[in-house]
Amino acid sequence: MTVRAAETTTSAWIRRFHPAPAAAARLVCFPHAGGAASFYFPVSRALSPDVEVLALQYPGRQDRRTEPCVEDLGTLADLITRELGTWCDKPLALFGHSMGATLAFEVARRLERDGVRPCALFASGRRAPSIHRDDRVHLSSDAELLAGMVRLGGTSAQLLEDPELVGAVLPATRADYKALETYRYAPGPALHCPLTVLTGDADDQVNLDEAAAWAEHSEGEFDLEVFPGGHFYLAAQAAAVIAAVRGRLATEVPGLAR
């Protein structure tokens, strides 16, 4: 992988809400299924200027809504890994929630394969990649898919009463679920970077055993952080989650204060 100093401009893939050229490290944030880069705007604001947040924008949503969605998680990981080659001139950490956690893991594997070791991987709200459930949400009807989004807590029921908004978010959400649910973990070398797993104690998408199973996927230091709440626990627990992220990064990155 070619590593060069990052430019101030962003690509279609990356949103740099609070540019911080002097930051000690960068944190790449991977959205959940149906999610967008804007989900991580508060994280960027909270960590800047010590840590520069790069929030990923997948195709098929918001300002990329005219682009075809990527329905294969491995392909998406390949595209993102290639994009991040520009940003590896300083310590790079990865944070993903739900689908984003599995995707961040696959990107971390590719980065390490290419000689770039992330300084930390944060996997939130997702069971270990090696644990498979036979989920088929992407085959649901539109009404079932929308009801599931509301039930998980990441989307307001009131917003989904807007037909225009539904038409904008539904295709990307379905494509993301297809990418996640057709993903199959391919055995390979464990990561070497520190791995922090974060989960809600009432999340029916991942139980504590499934969260703890992430430990087998890295030879680096492993931490499991459990917070009150369901699948989108991190909305109500934002301050505590950000503190956990900052604390781990401060351990790994010289000069970064807690």
Catalytic residues: 98
Whole-number Å distance between alpha carbons of 167 and 160: 9
Identify residue 18 by its one-letter amino acid code: H
The H or E element that residue 223 is part of is: strand 222-227
Given strand 51-56, what is the order of strands in its sheet? 14-15, 51-56, 25-30, 92-97, 120-124, 195-200, 222-227
Contacts for 164 with CB less than 8 Å, ≥ 6 apart: none
Whole-number Å distance between alpha carbons of 72 and 179: 5
Whole-number Å distance between alpha carbons of 122 and 101: 7
**Which runs of E-coded beta strand occur in the chain?**
14-15, 25-30, 51-56, 92-97, 120-124, 195-200, 222-227
Identify residue 3 by its one-letter amino acid code: V
Q: Within 10 Å of residue 190's Cβ, how many Cβ atoms?
A: 14
With beta carbons less than 8 A apart as the criterion, state whether 223 and 248 touch: yes
- Residue 178: CA count within 13 A, CB half-sphere: 15
With beta carbons less than 8 A apart as the criterion, state whether 179 and 72 touch: yes
Q: Which of 47, 60, 113 is nearest to 82 (CA)?
A: 113
